[in-house]
């Protein structure tokens, strides 16, 4: 039985109320998400292109990515200036009914994220700008996106699962390990190089013997790469460091720090469409939930 059939079934008034409240809550959450997305759209729209030579503060800079030493991305082995790996797990939020026609709502939960960059440059014919990428939001298509259900089916999937096991061990085991070592070792002993090496070896052995549970799970792997020579636009804050080098970083006041391959107008339209989409779904669900409560 689907959620809508259950809500329209007059023989189940209790389930009607619970379902209506759930739908109303989802609608309000959608409206809140729409408001946050609209604020993000306004913040991005307020950033104007800046003169690299004379401006500091929140600006947009466009140029081609460059780096003295390139990185190799871990999932696709792409030479790049910056990479980010994201691994999400699909977790069931709630299930309606338990029969053959049951339906479930799932959500992706971030279980691992890694990025590699020591900084790179954005350059055009006039000048160069050093980018400090901590907190950089990526607004372009992933170099690789792949979903794996349950056990791996081929060598490529096996390599991804192996990467997950090595890089993101079981969180509960991590918690126990960290708490145990902090209780048994004083800060002075923990800082001893010999102790650190022993802990490293023991932890590696523990991870080999007790890898992350991956059976009957659904994972999504994504990798983003900033490729040298590709043109990008970055919105962020220009500031000078102690050596008077001008850096492009995250703007702490607005939270804006993103990189995209799209034009400014395309990016703005995309952000506005997302806000309107959230608003439409939020308003529709909220209205539907209210109507059920009123006319049940």
User: Domain limits at 241?
Assistant: 3-167+215-291
Mark whether 199 and 228 lie in a shared domain: no
Mark whether 118 and 42 lie in a shared domain: yes
| 52-56, 63-67, 239-243, range with the lowest pLDDT | 52-56
Q: Summarize pLDDT for 219-250 with one digit per residue, the tens.
A: 899 999 999 999 998 888 887 766 667 788 88
Q: How many residues does the chain have?
A: 296
Q: Summarize pLDDT for 135-177 with one digit per residue, the tens.
A: 888 988 899 999 887 677 788 888 888 888 777 666 555 556 5
Mark whether 66 and 114 lie in a shared domain: yes
Mark whether 201 and 62 lie in a shared domain: no
pTM of the predicted model over 0.75: no
Higher pLDDT, residue 66 or 2? 66
Show contacts of 123-127: CB within 8 Å, 24+ apart: 123/63, 123/64, 123/66, 124/62, 124/63, 124/64, 126/52, 127/52, 127/53
Q: Which of 96, 94, 106, 107 lies closest to 2 in space, CA to CA?
A: 96
Domain boundary among 157, 182, 211: 211
Q: Summarize pLDDT for 199-220 with one digit per residue, the tens.
A: 777 766 665 555 455 456 788 9
What domain count does the chain have?
A: 2
**pLDDT, averaged across the chain:** 76
Average pLDDT rounded to a whole number, residues 246-267 = 81
State the pLDDT at residue 112. Answer: 86
- Residue 296 inside a domain? The answer is no
Domain boundary among 177, 194, 211: 211
């Amino acid at each position: 039985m689907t959620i809508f059939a259950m809500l329209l079934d007059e023989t189940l008034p209790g389930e009607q109320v619970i379902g209506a409240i759930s739908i109303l809550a989802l609608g309000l959450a959608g409206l809140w998400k729409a408001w946050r997305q609209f604020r993000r759209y306004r913040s991005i729209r307020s950033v104007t292109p800046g003169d690299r030579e004379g401006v500091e503060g929140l600006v947009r800079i466009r140029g081609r990515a460059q780096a003295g030493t390139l990185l190799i991305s871990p999932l696709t082995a792409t030479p790049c200036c910056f990479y980010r790996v994201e691994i999400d797990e699909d977790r069931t939020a709630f299930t309606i009914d338990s029969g053959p026609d049951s339906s479930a709502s799932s959500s992706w939960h971030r279980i691992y994220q890694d990025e590699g960059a020591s900084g790179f440059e954005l350059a055009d014919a006039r000048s160069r700008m050093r980018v400090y990428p901590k907190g950089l939001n990526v607004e372009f298509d992933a170099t690789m996106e792949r979903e794996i259900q349950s056990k791996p089916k081929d060598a490529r999937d096996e390599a991804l699962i192996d990467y997950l096991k090595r890089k993101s061990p079981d969180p509960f085991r991590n918690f126990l390990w960290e708490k145990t070592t902090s209780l048994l070792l004083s800060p002075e002993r923990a800082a001893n190089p010999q102790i650190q090496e022993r802990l490293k070896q023991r932890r590696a052995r523990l991870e080999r013997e007790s890898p992350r549970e991956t059976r009957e799970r659904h994972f999504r792997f994504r990798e983003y790469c900033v490729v040298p020579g590709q043109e990008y636009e970055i919105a962020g804050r220009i500031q000078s460091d102690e050596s008077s080098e001008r850096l492009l970083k995250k703007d702490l006041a607005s939270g804006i720090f993103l990189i995209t391959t799209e034009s400014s107008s395309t990016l703005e339209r995309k952000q506005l469409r997302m806000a309107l989409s959230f608003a439409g779904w939020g308003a529709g669900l909220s209205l539907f939930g209210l109507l059920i409560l009123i006319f049940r």
